[in-house]
Amino acid sequence: MKPLLFDDDAQFWYETVRLFGHAAYGGSDFGEVLAAASRVTAGDYGSWHDAYLELADRLRAEAAAAGPITARDLLLRASTYYFTAQFFLHGVPDDPRIGHAYDRSVECFRGAATLFEPAIRPVEIPYQGTTLSGYFYRPRVRAPNQP
């Protein structure tokens, strides 16, 4: 596939395509990703961070004023974009932007999780002397012959 953006930056194009893939599951929106990516300078990790952080902040703010279904959808996408914002910053592990974006990503995902029906709940799973964090998603139970 010929890159739509980042002709000379395979890693930025790869991450953009990966974001496009989240759209099928509600984790991104093609137009939002395209708009944010168009503001990124190839090879510039700071511009990548800034574009996706700004997008995530906007969606998070919109979610605060939205009804539950819209808020859930906005928070789910914001979670993806916050995670995306910090993705390329790990070359400098003590960069404070990493923790900020990661924490916001988790916060938005947990906010979205409470708005699913039934809600997705955080769980702690004992495993070999430690605890693994996870999420429990109970499928909705439907009566036979119910769509």
pLDDT (tens digit, 9 = 90+) per residue, 127-143?
A: 999 999 999 998 877 76
pLDDT (tens digit, 9 = 90+) per residue, 93-113?
A: 999 999 999 999 999 999 999
pTM for this one?
0.89
Token pair 């906005």 is found at 74
CA 88 vs CA 4, 5, 21, 118: distances in Å = 20, 17, 19, 34
Q: How far is residue 101 CA from its own chain's centroid?
A: 10
Q: How far apart are CA 71 and CA 97, in angstroms?
A: 25
Question: Average per-residue pLDDT in the chain?
Answer: 94
The CATH superfamily of 10-119 is acylaminoacyl peptidase (1.20.1440.110)
Burial profile 65-91: b = 16 or more Cβ within 10 angstroms, e = fewer: eeeeeebbbbbbbbbbbbbbbbbbbee
Q: Give Rg (Cα) of the chain.
A: 17
> Tens-of-pLDDT digits for all 147 residues of the chain?
788 889 899 999 999 999 999 999 999 999 999 999 999 999 999 999 999 999 999 999 999 999 999 999 999 999 999 999 999 999 999 999 999 999 999 999 999 999 998 889 999 999 999 999 999 998 877 767 766
